[in-house]
Structure 1
Amino acid sequence: MAGQAGTEKEYFAIGQAWLRQRFDIAVPPSAMESFCSPGSRRTVHDGDRCTEFYPARYWPGETAFDHLKFSLKHEPLDLRIIVATLHRLPPAELCAWVRTAPTSKYSRQIWFLYEYFTGTRLDLPDIKVGTYVPALDPQRHITGKRLNSPRHRVQNNLLGNRDLAIIVRRTARLESLMAVDIAGAVRELARDYDPDLVTRAVNFLYTKETRSSFAIEGERPTAQRAARFTAILREAAAFDPTDKAQLIWLQGQIVDPRYAATDWRDFQNFVGETTTDFAERIHYICPRPEDVSRLMLGWQKLAYSLLFLEHEIDPVIAAAVISFAFVFIHPFEDGNGRIHRFLIHNTLATHDITPKGLIFPVSAAILRQKHDYDRVLERFSAPLFGVIDWSLKGGEMRVHHDTGPLYRYFDATAQAEFLYDRVIDTIANDFRQELGFLAVFDKATAAMREIVDMPDRRLHLFFKLCMQNAGVLSKAKRADFPELTDAEVAALEKAIADARGET
C-alpha cells in the first residue's frame, strides 16, 4: 500500500487503516476506515460499518506520523490501533518529529498520547505557552472529564484511563437518542397518575425487572433468589460498584451459593453452549486471567469517574460504558450478565435519572429485543475470533498470546446506541403500560363491585380473564362463574369496557 495515492487506479488505505496494515496490528478493523481513491469525496455505509473515500490530494504521506496526524484530524479514534502504533514508534524519531512543530495541535496530541499510554517520558521540554487542545475531538467522540496536562498543554478528556479507555463515537443515531429528555418524560408521566398508583406500578416493575434479567440468561430463579435480587435493585442508588468487596458480595447474592466468588476469576473462561453432538460452540472468549486484575482496576477507576466525578456526561452513555465494559471483562465465573444489567440501574439511579423509588425495567425491554441484544454483544465478541489464537481441549480453553489491549481499548458506540434505545422503549412501554393498566383496573373493579359484591379473588380473576380476551369473558371461561347471571356478566363486561374508554 506504499506509494503516492492516485498514481494508479486503485485504493490506498490512509489513517488508521494504513497504520493497522503498516504495523501488522492484530486487531479487528475499525468501525470507520479511510481510503484515498479515484473520484470525489464520498461516504459509504454498509450496515454498521462506514468507509470514507478521499480524493488523491488527501494522501497524508509515507510516515506513521503523517497517518497519525490524518487520524486525529479526520477520524474518530480506534485506540486499539493508536496505542499499538505508539508502542511501535522509536522514541528518537517521535522526538525529532515533535521538534519540527512543537506547538502544533497534532504534535502535542500525539506526544501526550504516547507518554500517557506507553508510560515513557520523551526527551522534550515542556510546552510553556499556547491554548490547551483536547486529546479527543469532542465533535467526534463522547468525552470524559477534562484534566489539563500542562507539559503538553493538552486536555486529557479520554473516556477512561490507561488501563481501560473506551471510545463512543458521536453518530447521528446516538445524537438523536441523546436529544430525548428521558428524565422529563418520566416526571411528566408520573405527574399524570396518583402517587399511590405509581407506587403500586413500581412494585410490579421491580419484579418484572428481576424476572426479565434472569430470563435473558435462560434461568428461572427460586423465589428466594428472585426476592434477594429485587431487594438489591431497590437499593441500587446506594450501591458502590467501585468497591471490590461490594461487587463480590453482589455476585454471591445472585448466584447459587456454591458458585459465589471470593475474588476475580483466576482461570480462562469463555461463553458457549454444548451442541447436540456434545461439542462446544464458543460465543465469546473472555480476557485471560492474568489480565483481569488490571482490567478491573481500570474499570473501577472508570466507573468511579463516571459515577461520582463526571457531571456533564450523559447518564445513559455512562451506564452503557460501565455495564458493557464489565460484562466484556467477565470477572466472575457466573452472574456477570445480571450484574451487568444491575449496573445500568445503579448508574441511572446514581445520576438521578431514575427518580427515587422508581425503576425502568430495562431488562424487559432488552428481552423484547433479545436478538438485537445478542447482536450488540456479538459486535464486540465476534471480531475477536479473527485475531485471538486459542485452543479448547477437554472443555478447557487456552489463549496463546497477549490479548489485553483487545479488551482494554474498544469502541462501545453500538452498545451505547442499543441501551439508549432500550431505556427510551421501557419508559414509553413498560412504565406507561403498567400505570395505564392499574388505572383501568382500579376504575373497572370499583364499578364492578357496584354491580356484584364479589370476593376480591373472584373479582380479580374475572377482570384478568376479560382483559386477556379483548374485554369480554370467553365462552370457555363462562362456566367458571356459574353464580353470575348473563345480565350480570354483560354488566361487568361493560364496566371493564367503560374503564378502558371503549364506550
Structure 2
Amino acid sequence: MGEWPSQAVNDFRGRLLPETGTPVGYAALIAAYGLAIPLPPRLTAIAERHHPVATTAWNMLTPRHRPASTLAAQLTFAIKWEGVDLSVLAQLFRVLAPDTIADLVRATPTGAFARRIWFLYEWMTGDRLDLPDAGKVRLVDVVDPNQQFALADGEVSTRHRVVNNLPGTPRFCPMIRRSPVLVAAAAKKLDERARGQIGRVRPDLVARAAAFLLLNDSKSSFAIEGEQPSSTRAIRWGQAIAEAGQTRLSLPEFDRLQRIVIGDARFVRLGLRDEGGFVGVHDRETGDPIPDHVSARAQDLEDLLTGLVDYAARTLQGGHDPVAAAAALAFGFVYIHPYVDGNGRLHRWLIHHVLAAAAYNPPGLVFPVSAAILRHLDTYRSVLESYSRPLLSEIEWRRTSSGNVEVLNDTADYYRFFDATAHAEFLYACVEQTIEQDLPAEVAFLEAFDRFSLGVQEIVDMPADQVELLQKFLQQNDGRLSQRARTREFAALTADETAQVEQLYRDSFRAEQ
C-alpha cells in the first residue's frame, strides 16, 4: 500500500482539478493502493476554500467534508458521496486481505455503510467473511437510487440486511450516475409521449410509418459501419430488428443474429472469437497493430456474455430504467466485441431489444435510433472512446504472427464494470430525437403524400407507382417538374395538368416542409 493523498494538488494522474484540492474517496483509494484502472469519469476532492466550483470531472467539496486517512473512512466517504463504483471496488478487494474488510465491519457491525461494503465484498469475490449475520437492523439499499440508476425491485440479503438493487451480477454490471442530464431526460417520460403521438394517428399511417422507420434504421446501422447493403440484406436485418425483444437473449441467439447480419460468411469467421481482437489499423511499414480499442480476451467471452444476458433479464424484471439499461447493455457488448465482424450492428440491435422487451416503444413501432446515431457520428464516436481510449493504457498486449493482438494481463473486469453515464445520456438524446422529430416527420410526410395522391387522381388517372415517381421528381426539384420529367417520364401531362400538379404538391407538402 502507498500513502493516502495528504497534499493539495492541481492534477491527479494527469486529470486537472478545477482548483487546488486533495483527492479523496475513490481517487484516494486508487492512489493509496496503486489500482490499475481507467479513472472514473468523475472524482472527488476537498477544496481549500468553502465555496468551491464543481465540474463534470470533479466534485469539489468543502474542507468540512474531509475524511480521515483510513481505509474505513475513505471507503465509506466514497460510497456515501460517489456511489458504488464496481471497477474500483473489484481491484481494491483483490489487494485487501479478507480480515481487513471483516475488521472494518466489526468496528460498526450495524452501520449502513459497513453492511453495504460487507455485501459488496462477498458479492464480488464470492468469499464468505468470518462474520455472523447482521441480525435485526433496518434494511438499506446497496445502491442509493438518488445517486445512481438501480433496480426498483431488488432482493433482500438477510445476511447483510441490505436490498440488492444492483442492476447486474458480478459477471456484468455497468453503473450509471443520476447526472442532471439524465434526471431531466427521465422526467420527460418519452415513452408516454410516443404513445400519445401514435394514439392520435390513423392505424394505417402508423403501419406505413413503422415500415419506413424500420428499414431506415436497418440501412442507417449499416451506414454507420461504412457499408451499403443490398436491399435484400437491409430488409433481412430490418426483420431481425422488428423481432427484437420477443425472445430471451442467449449466446446461441447472438450467434444467430451474427449470421443474419453478415450474410455472406465465406470470408468471415462466424461465432465467438477464438483469438484476440482490436479496433484500429495496422502500421503500413511494420504491420504492427495500432489499436483504438482492444477487445476482451477470447477466454473471457462466454463468461462476459453470460453476464450480459443475465443483466438484460435482471434489469427487465427489476424495473430498471429501460433507456439506461439499453445503454449499459449495448455499449458493454461493443466494448467486449465478441465477434470478428458484426459487433456494431448487434450492439445497436441490443438497444431495440431492451426497449421493445420493456414495452418502451409503442407496439409494432421501432424507434430509428441508428438514424439518429448516424446524424451524430462524431458524438457517438466520442462516447465510445470516452471509455475505450483510457482503457488502452491499462491493457498489456503483444503482436501475434498474424498481425493481431494477444492480451497479456487479466482484463475481464474492465468489461464487466464501467461507468455508462455518458452512454446513457447519448442514447436518451437519440431516443428523444426519434420521438420528437423522426416519428412526427414521417407521419406528416405520409399525411401530405396521401393528400397529394388523392389530388393527383382528381387531375389525371395515374397508377400508384407513377404517383410515387411524380412526387419524388417534384421533391428533388423544389416542387417543379424538371425539363427531363416533362419531356420523358411525364410527357403525357398537358401544360395545364403540370401546373395543377405542381400547385397541388406545394399545397399538400407546405406544412410538412
Could you tell me which of 120, 138, 141 is aligned with 2:145?
A: 138
Pick which of 280-289 and 55-64 moved more.
Answer: 55-64
Amino acid at match of 1:115: E
2:204 equivalent among 185, 196, 218: 196
Go from structure 1 to structure 2 and tell me whether the alpha carbon gap of 1:484 and 1:280 turns closer, same or farther (over 3 Å shift): farther
Higher mean alpha-carbon deviation, 261-270 vs 345-354, is at 261-270
Identity %, equivalent residues: 36
Name the residue aligned to 1:42.
Answer: 52
Instruction: Provide Cα deviations, 1:164-199, integer angstroms capped at 9, x if missing partner.
Output: 111100000011111122222222222332211221
Instruction: Provide the residue aligned with 2:12 in structure 1.
Output: none
Structure 2 residue corresponding to 1:357, chosen from 334, 353, 364: 364
Question: CA, structure 1 residues 210+184, in 2 after alignment: closer, same or farther (shift >3 Å)?
Answer: same
Q: Distance in 1 between matches of 2:128 and 2:422?
A: 35
Say which of 83, 105, 113 aligns to 1:106.
113
Q: Which of 234, 241, 249 is the equivalent residue of 2:242?
A: 234
User: What residue in structure 2 maps to residue 18 of structure 1?
Assistant: 28
> Shift of the alpha carbon at 1:501?
4.1
Amino acid of the residue matched to residue 25 of structure 1? Answer: L
Greater mean alpha carbon deviation, residues 202-211 or residues 255-264: 255-264
Aligned residue type for 2:26: Q
**Structure 2 counterpart of 1:326, which letter?**
F
Worse-superposed segment, 394-403 or 439-448 = 394-403
Deviation at 1:491, TM superposition (A): 0.9
Amino acid at match of 1:463: Q
Q: Which runs of 4+ in 1 moved over 6 A?
A: 275-279
**Separation (CA, whole Å) in 2 of partners of 1:167 and 1:3:** 26
**2:187 aligned partner, one-letter code:** A
Which residue is equivalent to 2:394? 387
The aligned residue for residue 168 of structure 1 is 176
TM-superposition CA deviations, 1:77-121 (whole Å, max 9, x none): 321112211222222232223222111111111111111112221
Q: Match for 1:126: what amino acid?
A: D
What's 1:299 paired with? 308
For residue 313 of structure 1, what is the aligned residue in structure 2?
320
Q: Distance in 2 between matches of 1:276 and 1:455?
A: 56
1:179 aligns with 2:166: no
| Alignment check: 8 A CA contact 1:206 1:234 kept | yes
CA-to-partner distance for each residue in 1:346-396, whole Å, 9 max, x for gaps?
111111122222111111111111111111111121111222122335512
Change (3 A) 1:92 1:187: closer
What amino acid sits opposite 1:167 in the alignment? Answer: M
The answer for unaligned runs of 5 or more in structure 2 is: 10-18
CA–CA separation in structure 2 for the residues paired with 1:469 and 1:347: 41
How many residue pairs align between the two structures? 497
Residues of 2 paired with 1:293 and 1:21: CA distance? 33
Q: Does structure 2 retain, via aligned residues, the 8 Å contact 1:252–1:259?
A: no
Deviations 1:444-471, CA, capped at 9 Å, x for gaps? 1211221122343433222212122332
Distance in 2 (alpha carbons) for counterparts of 1:356 and 1:298: 28
Q: Which residue of the partner structure matches residue 225 of structure 1?
A: 233
Supply the AA of the counterpart residue of 1:496.
Answer: Y
User: Aligned-pair distance for 1:263?
Assistant: 4.4
Alignment partner, residue 347 of structure 1: 354
Segments of structure 1 that go 5 or more residues without pairing to the other structure are: none
1:489 aligns with 2:495: no
Deviates more, 1:476-485 or 1:250-259: 476-485
Q: Per the alignment, in what secondary structure is the counterpart of residue 405 of structure 2?
A: strand
Q: Which amino acid aligns with 1:198?
A: V
Q: Is the 8 A contact 2:372 2:430 kept in 1?
A: yes
Looking at structure 2, the residues matched to 181 and 375 of structure 1 have their Cα atoms a distance apart, in angstroms, of 26
Superposed counterparts of 1:86-105, under 5 Å: 86-105=93-112
Whether 2:130 is the aligned partner of 1:123: answer yes
Contact 1:131 1:153 in 2 (8 A): yes
Q: Which residue of 1 aligns with 2:83?
A: 76
Residues 188-242 of structure 1: per-residue CA shift (max 9 Å, x gap): 222332211221121112211111111111112233322321222222232321x
Alpha-carbon offset, residue 435 of structure 1: 1.2
Determine the C-alpha separation between the residues in 1 that align with 2:466 and 2:101.
80
Checking the alignment, whether the CA contact within 8 Å between 1:6 and 1:56 is kept in structure 2 is: no
2:418 aligned counterpart, secondary structure:
strand
Give TM-score, length-normalised by structure 1.
Answer: 0.93
Amino acid at match of 1:36: I
Residue 438 of structure 1, aligned match among 446, 452, 457: 446
Change (3 A) 1:479 1:381: same
CA RMSD of aligned residues (A): 2.4
> Paired residue for 2:479?
471
- Distance in 2, matches of 1:58 and 1:181, equals 36
Kindly indicate whether the alpha-carbon contact (under 8 Å) linking 1:251 and 1:260 is maintained by their aligned counterparts in 2. Answer: no
